[in-house]
Amino acid sequence: MSADDFPGWHGTTIIGVKKNGKVVIAGDGQVSLGQTVLKGTAKKVRRLSPGGFDVVAGFAGSTADAFTLLERLEAKLEANPGQLPRAAVELAKDWRTDKYLQKLEAMLIVSDGKHLMVITGAGDVLEPEHDVTAIGSGGNYALAAARGMMGSETDAETIARSAMAIAADICVYTNNKITLEQISG
């Protein structure tokens, strides 16, 4: 079954902002099926600590698929302690080549405080050019809002919260129930 065949799962906005030695990843809490909100308080941003090494991750897409990817990322981090870029590349390679993983429909934003990356099922590990990235149905709204604030004196958390509020005002699949994690580099 392709995403086009599924009855209209939509949802989420996740943003990552890196500024002044801090990274904030924030996400909304809405899960929708078609035009119905199923849940408004889902937690789509999590702190992972494999081997005492902290990583913050936010996900957009299928929740079960995202949890599978988060478990795989934790395993890659345990195999490559303190090396998020290498663990992310290893996950992306597996995701791209493994027949089971290829069917997973989710995207991740991850950070160890030094690096901010998007990991996709197409085998991409992308570091944003302007220290801000966003995914999900309201991702472009949040990204544009955050990019507009990056040159100001505003801190990473305030930028993330403001961008999420703007996305929630525009995207019907995004709400204002924000989960936010911060990590320093």
Domain boundaries, the chain: 9-173
pLDDT at 115: 97
Structure confidence at residue 100 (pLDDT): 67
Tens digit of pLDDT for each residue in 101-131? Answer: 777 778 899 999 999 999 987 888 999 999 9
pLDDT of residue 140: 96
129-145 pLDDT per residue, tens:
999 999 999 999 999 99
Helices 156-170 and 139-149 pack at an angle, to 10 degrees, of 140
Cα atoms in the 13 Å half-sphere on the side-chain side of 74: 14
Query: What is the reported pLDDT for 1?
Result: 39
Within 8 A by CB and 6+ apart from 7, the residues are: 33, 34
**Residue 8, pLDDT above cutoff 60:** no
Query: What contacts 24+ positions apart, CB below 8 Å, involve 142-147?
Result: 142/13, 142/15, 142/166, 142/167, 143/15, 146/15, 146/17
Residue 9 in contact with residue 20, Cβ under 8 Å? Answer: no
User: Is the model's pLDDT at 155 over the cut of 70?
Assistant: yes
Judge residue 25's burial from the number of C-beta atoms within 10 Å of its C-beta, 0-12 exposed, 13-18 middle, 19 or more buried: buried
Residue with the bigger pLDDT between 96 and 140: it is 140
Enumerate long-range contacts of 76-79, CB under 8 Å, 24 or more apart: 77/48, 77/50, 77/51, 77/53, 78/50, 78/51
Q: What is the pLDDT of residue 9?
A: 43
> Which residue is catalytic, options 12, 13, 133, 174?
12
Structure tokens at 33: 């099926």
Q: What is the pTM of this model?
A: 0.91
Q: Grade residue 5 by pLDDT with cuts at 50, 70 and 90.
A: very low
pLDDT given for residue 151 in this prediction:
95
pLDDT tens track for 67-82: 888 999 999 999 999 9
Judge whether 24 and 16 are in contact, CB under 8 Å: yes
Burial class (CB in 10 A: 0-12, 13-18, 19+), 21: exposed
Query: 3.30.1490.20, 2.60.40.420, 3.30.420.40, 3.60.20.10: which CATH number matches 9-173?
Result: 3.60.20.10
Compute the mean pLDDT over every residue in the chain, rounded to the nearest whole number.
89
Region 1-23: mean pLDDT is 73
Q: Based on the residue annotation, tell me whether 12 is a catalytic residue of this protein.
A: yes
Per-residue confidence at 7, pLDDT binned at 50, 70, 90?
very low
